[in-house]
Amino acid sequence: MELRYKYRFNFFRFINEVILLTISFVLSFYILNRVYHRDFIMINIWMLPLLVIGWYFSSRSTKSSDDFNSKSYTATLYKIANSIFVQFCLVILFFFTSHQTYNTKRFLLFYIILLGILVPLEKLLYKKTLLYLHKKGVNRKRILIVGGGRTGMQFSDIITKNDHLGYEIIGFLDDEKKSHLNGQYLGPTSKIDEYLASGTPEFDEVVVALPNSAHNKIKHIASVVGRNTIKLRIIPAYHELINSQYNVSIFNGFPMITLRHEPLDELHLRVIKRLFDIVFSFLVLILVCSWLFPLIALAIKLTSKGPIFFVQERWGKKNRKIKCYKFRSMYVRSRDVDEVSGKYQQAKKNDPRITKIGGFLRKSNLDEFPQFFNVFFGDMSVVGPRPHPTPLNLESKELIDNYLVRHLVKPGITGWAQVNGFRGETSDPSLMKARVNYDIWYIENWSLLLDLKIIFLTFWKTIVGDKNAF
């Protein structure tokens, strides 16, 4: 889909979602008025713009309005669930700040249920409608794929599994007849001249899925197709390196593909995140830490010998070494590095190095609170990839692909990986790999709304408990 039409299409889908959101909002208050005989307070109408703005940013973050980026209906439902969760938080925030309590729970129940029914139903009906229209031949596009290798077959599978996109593959051109083409082999790549000249078979687009070594063939195909009213698309041979956050730009006449686009590359977004960090950390230090720190310090001193704070070298943004502050939760003589293996010893469940008060501090995340000083002075952020000790970084960067990508941004007190269950010990490389993948996703999809969501989930997990916190 052309970029300008894609934006218009996604805006149209977003408007549909806003209409459903408004219907859910009005119906929820209507039910409250009719069933529970509650008077509708006009101040509540100001909640609607807040909910629409919240939906805009959450749907933009997850691309829930972009059906062409959805791999499956299940993936679409997951994106919708994220946006509905944001609505849940915004409703609670509105009622809390407006000091209303009498209808909060009932309104929230009706509103979330209606959203959870109407929006997924709209997505399902839309896809079913598109599928019906495409089967009737409405706006159906016929594609000729040049290249029957792995890339061409992967693209073919995507088209086959997503009928609602409205594409039909008429066949493959390849210089080698391959059995896996299942009768769709039409001949060598040179036949494209013949097909374009004769107009048989009819097709609307040519998709080139050839390796980079076939540069001359690709150039010839582009030249031939360019002289006809056929759209040409080229899948780069390095497409597996590109994710959904790629960026295409022109640098002094040269097309450049940036494999990973990070929102925090933008100066104004970094300023917004930094201002939030300063305000949030200042409020925590003044309103919470001012009375909490003396209590924790006293508890540490009474239960074990040694300093109150534990200072450890960790890696910050761009691998810069920082001093990370924590409340001491282990006995003073505890060692970070095993004397026999020479490997870094991560904290384990029932770790004998952890003091009694230290176990409580770690489970409740209170041991991390001194890091708000790190945040306030700019070494860390409230939300970001968790910083690892130097020995663990040195070990992991050799074992885990893209490990150091997580250091493109400031480390955080909490992060996307942590609220998704990947905190604590990562002795199994697969656990560290999963943590890194979550951290990279956060870097590529950062938004202030996402930070607020992670902070909320961190407090929530602290209340309900986290089995990986030890």
For residue range 126-136, what is the model confidence (pLDDT) as tens digits? 878 877 776 77
Write phi, then psi, for 209 (nearest 5 degrees).
Answer: -125, 55
Tens-digit pLDDT profile for residues 172-202: 888 888 777 777 888 888 888 887 777 666 7
Which among 80, 60, 67, 78 has a CA at the least distance from the CA of 128? 67
Hey, where are the domains in the chain?
3-135, 141-241, 265-464
Whether the predicted pLDDT of 275 surpasses 90: yes
Task: Give the pLDDT confidence score for residue 384 in this predicted structure.
Answer: 94
Task: Give the pLDDT confidence score for residue 343 in this predicted structure.
Answer: 66
Q: Answer with the residue of higher pLDDT: 182 or 436.
A: 436
Task: Give the pLDDT confidence score for residue 465 in this predicted structure.
Answer: 63
| Span 433-438, average pLDDT | 89
| Span 138-155, average pLDDT | 82
Task: Give the pLDDT confidence score for residue 453 in this predicted structure.
Answer: 86
Task: Give the pLDDT confidence score for residue 274 in this predicted structure.
Answer: 95
In one-letter notation, the amino acid at residue 316 is: G
| Span 434-455, average pLDDT | 89
Whether the predicted pLDDT of 2 surpasses 50: no
Q: Quote the Cα angle for 60-65-68, to 5°.
A: 115
Average pLDDT, the chain: 80
Task: Give the pLDDT confidence score for residue 428 in this predicted structure.
Answer: 73
Going by pLDDT thresholds of 50, 70 and 90, the confidence category of residue 220 is confident
Whether the predicted pLDDT of 359 surpasses 70: yes
Distance CA(338)–CA(352), nearest Å, equals 14
| Span 130-152, average pLDDT | 78
Whether the predicted pLDDT of 381 surpasses 90: yes
Task: Give the pLDDT confidence score for residue 468 in this predicted structure.
Answer: 59
Fold of the 141-241 domain: Rossmann fold (3.40.50)
In the numeric block, which tokens belong to residue 148?
């029957």
| Span 357-367, average pLDDT | 83
Q: Answer with the residue of higher pLDDT: 469 or 29.
A: 29
Query: How much of the chain, in percent, has pLDDT values that exceed 70?
Result: 79
Whether the predicted pLDDT of 144 surpasses 80: yes
Which among 462, 438, 437, 461 has a CA at the least distance from the CA of 450? 438
The most confident of the ranges 57-61, 74-78, 189-193 is 189-193
Helices 448-464/73-97 angle, 10° precision = 80
Tens-digit pLDDT profile for residues 94-113: 777 766 655 677 788 888 89
Nearby residues of 106 by Cβ (< 8 Å), 6 or more positions away: 32, 36
Whether the predicted pLDDT of 382 surpasses 90: yes
Going by pLDDT thresholds of 50, 70 and 90, the confidence category of residue 69 is very low
Task: Give the pLDDT confidence score for residue 225 in this predicted structure.
Answer: 81
Going by pLDDT thresholds of 50, 70 and 90, the confidence category of residue 5 is very low
On whether the CB atoms of residues 334 and 282 are closer than 8 A, the answer is no
Task: Give the pLDDT confidence score for residue 239 in this predicted structure.
Answer: 61
Tens-digit pLDDT profile for residues 279-334: 999 999 999 999 999 999 998 888 888 888 888 899 999 889 999 999 888 887 76
Q: Quote the Cα angle for 62-66-72, to 5°.
A: 85
| Span 201-206, average pLDDT | 79
Distance CA(393)–CA(384), nearest Å, equals 16
Whether the predicted pLDDT of 376 surpasses 90: yes
CB-CB neighbours of 117 under 10 Å: 12
Whether the predicted pLDDT of 425 surpasses 80: no
| Span 33-58, average pLDDT | 72
Q: Answer with the residue of higher pLDDT: 262 or 287.
A: 287
Whether the predicted pLDDT of 366 surpasses 90: no
Task: Give the pLDDT confidence score for residue 242 in this predicted structure.
Answer: 63
